[in-house]
Chains A and B, each alone.
Chain A
């Protein structure tokens, strides 16, 4: 079974530019999560999809971040315009059962560097 995949693995952009991160969850997983880790700090929750619907987006930093999940399959996270403080590693995770918190399978992450 293929795991959670994320693309790109690394992105370097200038302040003010736009970047779109993609996540492909494990097939059949209805729940998809985005997390972010700023260097040296904790991994922080951004938002949670159940199929194509946003279940919880309380962790989204501001309206420069836009997440979508078309058809309940893959998800994209767009940052527009990017700021220096957006640099970090963005992790995607997926799970099948909403009630089994430990069954969140994480992707390898996208390292975003904003210069």
Chain B
């Protein structure tokens, strides 16, 4: 059973606008959440993370929001740039338990120039 879900397989956004990628999880034991970015023929690259004790973490153009009660997180990219076009994976971990990451199915973001 999939514990991390990304229900939008793709998203297209105009350059300069905001991109919002969404992720839901089911396991209440998850206490650390990550976003990875993946280009074709490359492995996932860590982008930004958030601990369950926070509800927001910002790094430049990237902000991750966490709503624990809804078991939902989102990644905001503003302004979006053509180089942001990639597949974005949401991942979760229970740091107090196993160290492996649970990934979603990914959302393909296309930023249109």
* Interface residues, chain A, with chain B CB atoms under 8 Å away: 4, 9, 31, 33, 35, 40-45, 48, 55-56, 58-59, 91, 93, 98-99, 101-109
Contact yes or no, B32 A101, CB < 8 A:
yes
Pick from A42, A44, A101, A105: contact of B99, CB below 8 A. A101
Q: Contacts A41-B105, A43-B89, A101-B95: A59 and B100 contacting too (C-beta < 8 A)?
A: yes
* Interface residues, chain B, with chain A CB atoms under 8 Å away: 2, 4, 32, 34, 36, 41-46, 49, 89, 91, 93, 95, 98-106
29 chain-A/chain-B pairs, Cβ below 8 angstroms: A4-B43, A9-B41, A31-B99, A33-B100, A35-B101, A35-B103, A42-B89, A42-B103, A42-B104, A44-B103, A48-B98, A48-B99, A55-B99, A56-B98, A56-B99, A58-B98, A59-B100, A91-B43, A91-B44, A99-B95, A101-B93, A102-B34, A102-B46, A104-B46, A104-B101, A106-B36, A106-B45, A108-B42, A109-B41
B29 to chain A, nearest CB (A): 13
Number of contacts between A and B (CB, 8 Å)? 66
What residue of chain B has the Cβ atom nearest to residue A44's Cβ? B103
Which residue among B42, B44, B91, B99 has the maximum number of chain A CB atoms within 10 Å of its CB?
B99
Contact yes or no, B105 A40, CB < 8 A:
yes
Given A55-B99, A109-B42: 9 more A-B contacts, CB < 8 Å:
A33-B100, A43-B106, A59-B100, A101-B95, A102-B34, A106-B36, A106-B43, A107-B43, A108-B42
